[in-house]
């Protein structure tokens, strides 16, 4: 098994064997690698009834206690109920009621850029956390040293460490999870114990906080309050429980932050390396909102912002290899036998860099999604970045709105360009990414400053709402 840039290796193997589906046998596990949208759709979408389960993950789910997270949970009733929770509060139409909060999070990001533009990645993470925590729990995160953000960072570190292929022998030999912590060689038990606290805190603490605020009568409108009130009054058409709500909201926070931060980091990198995109976007924004910041109500009139978000998702997907799906029945596909228990890995990178769908795929080019001033319906959107079938990210609509308004407002108010050294020479970013379970642009310096005093005034005017 390749341990670095596996998605590139799988593409090369596919070319070598002239096939978009590959089979690997790894220590008795049957792995099916899928390198095309057609094969991924045929298996994971059209046959989702038997390809929606997850493999056993002893270290992450059992020992670290992350089995509550819907992204990694087996296909059971808790998972199904969690999906209903998402649909109840974060479906494509329902999520629009939180647009005011989404725009407020973006404005907070703009104000942070005014104060400290060099820390833009920290501001992006704070914006994502603020938006998701406010929508999910009604919690306003602190500007600095927020405990919820710190917990999320520790959880992210744990997931990256645990999900690295071959990192822990217990994932290959599950019976080892019964070895006691004091036993020689049981460092994995001690690692799991440390991460378990953070992974438990991530769903327990904010949920407990919003319940306490509901009892005291000062809980603001948020998804948790709405869902808990529906339970109390018996208007629970989704048949979910309080635990289902807690796990679903915790999963939303755990998943959305990584997607938003990585994608918006790719956006800033793309703009720095391709300044003409910024010019074109600002011209469009100035036509629609000549004397104000954009809002989500402007989305239909600013399709080029959608194109930029699409390209940011496509060019460097946050999770290049989708979390494995596990088959629950024997299957035949294109004459190939896929036995029950096989793990199917969709190569999202390969799908989003398919030259037939996206010519010159390594180039950051939002115009590929445009035609005659509108989004081109003939170009497929980068949905593969959010997963497949019944396992597609249920928070994608909320994440997309946060990303859209952040891109629109940032380009409306600021110019982004290469930084310069003390001699006035440009400092080009490397364009490289830190590779792990989730991928992020490697830190790079850039220059971010208001487009004009008038644009700066628009940003400062939002401070009253914060």
Task: Say which residue the tokens 């938006």 belong to.
Answer: 131
How many whole angstroms separate alpha carbon 45 and alpha carbon 331? 14
How many whole angstroms separate alpha carbon 302 and alpha carbon 28? 51
How many whole angstroms separate alpha carbon 212 and alpha carbon 140? 15
**Of 324, 328, 327, 331, nearest in space to 346 by CA:** 324
Give how far Cα 418 sits from Cα of 163, 269, 301, 340, Å. 35, 10, 29, 52
Residue 446's SS3 state is strand
Locate 363 and state its tokens: 């180039």
Sign of the CA dihedral with 86 first, then 127, 286, and 426 last = negative
**Cα torsion at 376, 349, 321, 306 (round to 10°)?**
-30
Furthest CA-CA distance within the chain: 68
Within 10 A of 359 (CB to CB), how many other CB atoms are there? Answer: 10
Locate 199 and state its tokens: 């992974």
Give how far Cα 125 sits from Cα of 62, 109, 313, Å. 28, 9, 17
Cα angle, residue 207 at apex, residues 463 and 144 outer, rounded to 5°: 40
**Cα torsion at 57, 63, 65, 70 (round to 10°)?**
0
Bridge partners, residue 441, by sequence: 433
Q: Is 409 known as a binding-site position?
A: no
Binding site membership: which residues?
Answer: 393
Binding site membership for heme: which residues?
Answer: 393
């Amino acid at each position: 098994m390749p341990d670095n840039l596996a998605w590139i290796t799988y593409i090369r193997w596919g070319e070598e064997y002239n096939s978009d589906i590959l089979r690997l046998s790894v220590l008795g596990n049957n792995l099916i690698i899928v390198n095309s949208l057609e094969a991924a759709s045929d298996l994971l979408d059209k046959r989702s009834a038997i390809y929606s389960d997850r493999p056993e993950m002893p270290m992450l789910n059992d020992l670290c206690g992350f089995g509550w997270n819907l992204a990694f949970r087996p296909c059971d009733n808790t998972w199904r109920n969690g999906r209903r929770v998402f649909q109840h509060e974060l479906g494509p139409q329902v999520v629009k009621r939180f647009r005011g909060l989404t725009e407020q999070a973006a404005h907070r990001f703009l104000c942070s850029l005014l104060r400290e533009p060099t820390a833009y990645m920290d501001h992006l993470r704070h914006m994502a956390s603020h938006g998701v925590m406010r929508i999910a729990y009604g919690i306003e995160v602190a500007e600095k040293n927020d405990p919820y953000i710190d917990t999320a960072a520790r959880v992210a570190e744990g997931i990256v460490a645990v999900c690295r292929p071959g990192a822990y022998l217990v994932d290959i030999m599950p019976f080892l999870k019964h070895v006691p912590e004091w036993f020689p060689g049981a460092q994995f038990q001690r690692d799991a114990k440390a991460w378990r606290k953070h992974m438990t805190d991530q769903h327990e603490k904010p949920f407990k906080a919003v319940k306490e605020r509901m009892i005291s009568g000062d809980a603001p409108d948020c998804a948790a309050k709405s869902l808990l009130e529906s339970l109390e009054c018996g208007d629970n058409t989704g048949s979910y429980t309080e635990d289902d709500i807690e796990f679903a909201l915790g999963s939303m926070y755990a998943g959305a932050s990584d997607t938003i931060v990585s994608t918006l980091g790719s956006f800033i990198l793309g703009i720095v390396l391709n300044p003409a995109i910024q010019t074109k976007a600002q011209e469009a924004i100035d036509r629609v909102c000549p004397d104000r910041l954009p809002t989500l109500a402007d989305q239909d009139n600013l399709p080029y912002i959608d194109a930029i978000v699409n390209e940011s998702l496509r060019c460097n997907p946050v999770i290049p290899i989708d979390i494995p799906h596990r088959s629950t029945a024997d299957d035949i596909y294109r004459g190939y036998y896929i036995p029950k228990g096989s793990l199917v890995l969709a190569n999202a990178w390969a799908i989003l860099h398919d030259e037939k769908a996206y010519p010159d795929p390594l180039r950051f080019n939002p115009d590929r999604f445009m035609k005659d001033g509108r989004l081109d319906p003939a170009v497929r959107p980068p949905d593969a970045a959010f997963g497949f079938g019944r396992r597609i990210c249920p928070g994608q609509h909320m994440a997309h709105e946060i990303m859209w308004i952040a891109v629109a407002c940032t380009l409306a108010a600021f110019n982004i360009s290469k930084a310069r050294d003390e001699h006035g020479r440009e400092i080009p970013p490397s364009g490289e990414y830190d590779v792990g379970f989730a991928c992020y642009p490697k830190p790079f310096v850039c220059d971010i400053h208001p487009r004009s005093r008038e644009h700066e005034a628009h940003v400062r005017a939002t401070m009253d709402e914060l």
